[in-house]
Structure 1
Amino acid sequence: MHRQLACLAAGLILTGSVAAPAAADPLSTISVPPGAGSPGYRLRIDTTRLGLTVSRGGEEVLRTASDAFTFTGGVATRVRSLSREGATVVAEADSTAGRPVTLRVTPRADRFDLSWSVGGLAAGDRAAHFDLATSGHWYGGGETSEGKAQPYPLSAGVVDEPEFSPASYMMQEPYFFTSKSVGLFVRTAQPMKVALGGGRADLTVTNSAAYTSTVFVESTRRAVYDDYVGEVGKPAKSDATDAEFASPLWNSWAQYYRNIDQDKVLTWARDLKAAGVAGHTVQLDDKWESAYGNLTFDAKTFPDPKKLAADIHAMGQKFGLWTTFWINLDSANYAYARDHGYLVHAKDSAQPCTVTWWNGTAGIIDLGNPQARDWYTGNLRKLMADYGVDGFKFDTRFFDDRCATTGTLTPQDYQKLGADMTDQFDQQGAGIRTHWGSQRYGFVIRAVDADTTWDGLRTSLRRASAISADGYPFVETDMIGGSDSLPPPSREVLVRWAQAASLMPLMYASTSPVQTVDTTTGQPVVYPADTAKLYAAAVRTHAKLAGYLQTQVRQAVADGTPIMRPVYFDFPADHRFDTIDDEWLLGPALLAAPVITAGTTRDVVLPPGLWFDPHTKRVEPGGRTLHGYQAPLDTTPMFVRIGAPGWLGLVTALTH
């Protein structure tokens, strides 16, 4: 009687399992009844070999693999006892290493908290392993590492991320969700190892005494998203201005890479203006400095930076600079920072940690040292005051796992320190690559560098979509046309990339549609005259969406709603979209279906409802596929959802 009353007080019903005699303990099955806004679920603890199975409405939606919980040198095995501590069910199990394993499960209405530890072992690797097929398709996690494929869904390919970390340059979140509306939030401030493939998902935490996570069980994937954002926080603001949402940022990286000087930048900016290609900011990327970390202009290539800023301002645009927290050893500032204790230390000594990166060997400013932060930001403010610099693109990482943190700080703490510091400045629509629970800052997030090919375009769109689905609504692709130190994109790739980006929250540009340089050969590349016209048309399309986007930005700040989102967030029953990566919703009323492969036709899958086509001026009934939709190079397929919030304004904007 007392047990029944306690269960009712916790909102739970505990029943005995009939699956196998070994699971006969009445605590081995936890049934959570449906409630207001929650579907209810049943969780069964396998006592023959410690594991979990979750079902909802009689269907299995999550199952651990046969080796469900592992640690260095051991695997959890038979459950010796089950008990309760309040609402928490505690399983004591054996392991192949002869050490006891303790699993704690605390059910709640739409989720359960799961934690397990190994008796007598200090911090180390702890892993949970899941069967992929039981859960349907897997998504989430953010970006795969640069140079690696970004499967869509993740479970459709192979993911191998041995350095999945708060300190990563990739946008990564310890959060995954499935097409069966289950989410997994691994609660760790330390690096992870993530692998999906061969029918299983392996999620490993490092440097941890316990593996702690929350599993969401909902009716829709959008509800799982809301659960996760409810845990980590929604954006408290948008860091980008209305102007930064309305037209592109122009950054010099893919246009010139490191072969940059004052005359080239002015030629580039003037060509764009003459071609009618709008923008809000011209930003110098890599190689404007006298040395990496000096935070002073190279006088040989930029003899009069103050005049350069004035010339850019005269064109009606802001002026910005790329900057990094890493100071190369041959920089004058390195010795200063080293002598003042402004650099993070090595793990095995009190000496500064040195790390290799794409521009040499460097030390890293210790953001855990307030004096170091003040010194760095003081240098930035001097650039603003002396030369008319308006803002910055912050690049590289805030920390590196090869180094030692300061005091009790974790790698995740350095994300917060870096975010707080960079939040003082205008990031000019380039944003900052900060992650692992940094949603509340409302930064623009750019996808990592991508190839200048069709594959690069598809990959960049997949990355941006993954970032948005992790709770960062103000997303953009890599620079339009790609980068990655490759030859410039073809005319078709450049135009189609601009068209796709025009149907996203922000546009991030570099390669001029007038002319650029193949830096692999040093030869100029002049695009056909209509390239700039087509590119400018895409920019104008984006500008027409400005009012609609401002409404979506306010919605994202109000409740965390992603702006660019998978179609299944709004149409959960339409499983055709589970594997479609070249269509998305921009807010509730615009279906984007750009062409991202060679050719002038594509199939368009329409969700249920009525959809207005701005190009043909026709209303198309949904729930079907438009085969062979005609999309010559001057056409970007898109459809307005009749009756959705904002649809009338969109129709007016897109047809006038």
Structure 2
Amino acid sequence: MALKVTRKCIFYTALAVIIGTAALAITLVLLLRDDEEIMKRYEFSNSDLVIQVQEQPDHRYILSLISDGIPIQRITFDHDFTDDSVLVSTDRGIRLEGNGQRIEITDIEDTDQFSFISITRKLRKGQIISDVVHTGDHVRGKEIQWYGGPEQMEQLYPVQKLRFEDYAYIPKELHSAAISERYWLNSAGVFLYVEKEVPLFIDQDEATLRLTAKKELPYYSYDEIFEFNYRIGVAKNAKEAHVKAVDKVLNQPVGIPDERMVRHPIWSTWVRYRRPISQQTVLDFASEIKERGFKNAQLDIDDFWESCYGSLVFDSISFPNVTELTEQLKEMGFRVTLWIHPFINKNCQPWYTEALSKGFLVKSHNESIGYNTKWWNSVENEASYINFNNPAAVEWFRLRLKELQEQGIDSFKFDAGEPSWAPADPDVEGSKVLSPTSLTTNYVRMCAELGPMIEIRTGWTTQDLPVFVRMIDLDTRWGMNNGLQSLIPTMLQMNLNGYPFVLPDMIGGNVYGDDILTKELFVRWLQANTFMPSMQFSKTPWDIDEESIELTRVFTQLHEDYSDYILQRMRITVTEGTPVNPPIWWLDPDDEEALKISDEYLLGEDILVAPVLTEFATTRDVYLPGGTWRDGNTNHIYEGGQWIRMYPAPINILPYFIKSTFQMR
């Protein structure tokens, strides 16, 4: 039965639609204002959650989610529906129509623990439609905190602190946004997920997150009809909402990465040697690591080992005998990985001409752009991007990687992959509504087929892959602007977007430009990394001093000591979808202090880590959520729900705390 509301109707209530065994209570109300203008309101609910749509004086409508009589989230449909708009009841919700737009608000699922609704509409090319998520509201007098959103160079946390303007929401190199899932979660237990087919742009300020759908670049912009769809989930708190989100929209990994990459450090040539490198350089590095008694997961041969960028062939002068090199490294106890990128420079012949002639490169719809792009190892218009939407190109690329494996290469470190590296307005195979992000999805899925030792740095709806996802390069500095203080917020952001197998980048950062890696910065970075899933070195402690070597031994051993627990938490992630390194509010989602903290993190649900992240500091304040905690350094027992002020932490101390009930399984 459908009910249409017009100006002639003053009041209608108590329409019940029976759906299966559940009763969906629907109320449509027209409210008489003082100036006798009529405003329309609609409510429906199954259990404790009421979904209300109410007209505003400017003929916009606000969707309100009301729990136990308290509004917990508002979204404004920022569109002028005009005075003759109508509300029509449907079997499971409401349809709002007016001024050329139709919005379907549908109840998908409703239980005592969880409610799930969808907002859908079809738009025509040329329409620009926004919905405004109110992020600055208070609920029951409490400030609402937000999580999720895009990976950023300045990774502020909680994420309502970020600012965006007309920001195309795809993975991109700009601001290091390699992970950009359309997922936001708040401390009131509400999550929002915008469907991957939507050509989404966002604006964000201190009070609102504006979601805009429009057919403009970088999206495919040639079809006449497109959709603006998203889903909203509501649970009793942020933890339960996120667990539901993993199940409903994000997915969880199907397996875990390589165990040795968890237990022992990865060693990379990148920061220490830059480019180019040579066979002797690699052997010398391996010898230094072995002579000092450090263990390894693998040794990564980074940029620049190729004969030219894109050949996937070792330079024969710098690497005269690759098979001999890999055999020597394996005799020394190393596995060997190789840095790989998805580009071919035009001067890389005959491989560039072969790829071009076979249609293996991404081409723009814009003929003046053609196949041209630029990356950090080329000049403008002197490179092209492999078309990973083309199955034949994928196979060509994969076969050349297998030839490298035949020379003793065990696995690969894959760089780039964001669609912004491709020529603008790409003309590629596959679903047009998924362009250009499908380039990332297909690249990453090709990478993951090569086994659990690989690492990638980007993703797009690829949370199911059992591989490490690396943070974008961090700079060698202390601050929030891509320095050490960005490390924990970035890890939390990745976990809360469904990427729990986080590979932090180089300990100490990448030492770009005028950056200087001091002993203090190196050691504090090492400590912060200790309870994360993996450790990676390029600058070595023996580049600094003897104390740095000894402290590196201490904290790599501490990491190894807890590696069984890290692996246990990874397996729980596979079965239950929970983060490996959650924020500390995970233990108490109603703790207002915990909800705001950005410089502490958990390993699983039993270990809290509070590293020193400020230069020259020898103490720090530590917040412990509820429970009984044992100090990992002193064995002192603390009751949670309180701050420990001025906790002593000289350079050899990492503050960490273990639940008193913790037992390694």
1:179 matched residue in structure 2? 187
SS in 2 for 1:514: helix
Q: Which of 485, 488, 509 is residue 482 of structure 1 equivalent to? A: 509
TM-score, L = length of structure 2:
0.87
Q: Which of 378, 390, 415 is residue 410 of structure 2 equivalent to? A: 390
SS in 2 for 1:28: strand
- Structure 2 Cα separation of the partners of residues 342 and 102 of structure 1: 41
- 2:503 corresponds to 1:465: no
- Structure 1 Cα separation of the partners of residues 651 and 32 of structure 2: 62
1:154 matched residue in structure 2? 159
1:649 matched residue in structure 2? 664
- In structure 2, the CA distance between the partners of 1:180 and 1:432, relative to structure 1 (3 Å rule), is same
- Structure 2 Cα separation of the partners of residues 481 and 232 of structure 1: 35
Q: Is this contact kept in 2: 1:173–1:470, CA < 8 A?
A: yes
- Structure 2 Cα separation of the partners of residues 313 and 564 of structure 1: 32
**Superposed counterparts of 1:101-500, under 5 Å:** 101-107=101-107, 108-109=109-110, 110-118=115-123, 121-122=124-125, 125-134=128-137, 136-144=144-152, 146=153, 149-160=154-165, 162-166=167-171, 170-189=178-197, 191-207=199-215, 209-332=226-349, 333-349=351-367, 352-360=370-378, 361-385=382-406, 387-397=407-417, 399=419, 400=422, 402=424, 403-409=426-432, 410=434, 411-426=436-451, 428=453, 431-455=455-479, 456-483=483-510, 485-486=512-513, 487-500=515-528
C-alpha displacement at 1:93, in angstroms? 2.4
- In structure 2, the CA distance between the partners of 1:507 and 1:351, relative to structure 1 (3 Å rule), is same
Worse overlay, 121-130 or 304-313: 121-130
C-alpha displacement at 1:176, in angstroms? 0.7
Per-residue deviation, residues 35-63 of structure 1 (Å, max 9, x unmatched): xxxxx243333353223222222222222
Q: Is this contact kept in 2: 1:60–1:134, CA < 8 A?
A: no
- Structure 1 Cα separation of the partners of residues 270 and 647 of structure 2: 35
Q: Which of 31, 34, 42 is residue 28 of structure 1 equivalent to? A: 42
Q: Is this contact kept in 1: 2:488–2:601, CA < 8 A?
A: no
SS in 2 for 1:310: helix
C-alpha displacement at 1:327, in angstroms? 0.9
Q: Is this contact kept in 2: 1:271–1:514, CA < 8 A?
A: no
- Structure 1 Cα separation of the partners of residues 182 and 446 of structure 2: 23
- Structure 2 Cα separation of the partners of residues 141 and 91 of structure 1: 28
Q: Is this contact kept in 2: 1:465–1:564, CA < 8 A?
A: yes
SS in 2 for 1:290: coil
- 2:30 corresponds to 1:43: no
1:64 matched residue in structure 2? 75
SS in 2 for 1:104: strand
Alignment length, in residue pairs? 612
Q: Counterpart of 1:60 in structure 2: which amino acid?
A: P
SS in 1 for 2:65: strand
Q: Is this contact kept in 1: 2:630–2:660, CA < 8 A?
A: yes
- Structure 2 Cα separation of the partners of residues 313 and 383 of structure 1: 16
C-alpha displacement at 1:594, in angstroms? 1.3
- In structure 2, the CA distance between the partners of 1:124 and 1:442, relative to structure 1 (3 Å rule), is farther
Per-residue deviation, residues 521-580 of structure 1 (Å, max 9, x unmatched): xxxxxx121112112211111100111112111101101111100111221121101221
Q: Counterpart of 2:71 in structure 1: which amino acid?
A: E
Q: Is this contact kept in 2: 1:189–1:412, CA < 8 A?
A: no
- 2:22 corresponds to 1:13: no
C-alpha displacement at 1:350, in angstroms? 11
2:535 matched residue in structure 1? 507
- In structure 2, the CA distance between the partners of 1:407 and 1:628, relative to structure 1 (3 Å rule), is closer
Q: Counterpart of 1:186 in structure 2: which amino acid?
A: V
Q: Is this contact kept in 1: 2:189–2:237, CA < 8 A?
A: yes
SS in 2 for 1:282: strand
C-alpha displacement at 1:265, in angstroms? 2.5
Gaps of 5+ in 2: 3-13, 139-143, 216-224
Query: Percent of aligned positions with the same letter in both sequences?
Result: 27
Q: Is this contact kept in 2: 1:398–1:418, CA < 8 A?
A: no
Q: Counterpart of 2:497 in structure 1: which amino acid?
A: D
- In structure 2, the CA distance between the partners of 1:484 and 1:17, relative to structure 1 (3 Å rule), is farther
Gaps of 5+ in 1: 35-39, 95-99, 516-526, 651-656
SS in 2 for 1:60: strand
Q: CA RMSD in A?
A: 2.5
Q: Counterpart of 1:55 in structure 2: which amino acid?
A: I
- Structure 1 Cα separation of the partners of residues 281 and 91 of structure 2: 69
Q: Counterpart of 1:14 in structure 2: which amino acid?
A: I
Q: Counterpart of 1:43 in structure 2: which amino acid?
A: Q
1:521 matched residue in structure 2? none
- Structure 1 Cα separation of the partners of residues 31 and 375 of structure 2: 54
C-alpha displacement at 1:417, in angstroms? 2.1
Per-residue deviation, residues 76-121 of structure 1 (Å, max 9, x unmatched): 5556111022213001123xxxxx1211101231121012344xx3
C-alpha displacement at 1:513, in angstroms? 1.5
1:654 matched residue in structure 2? none
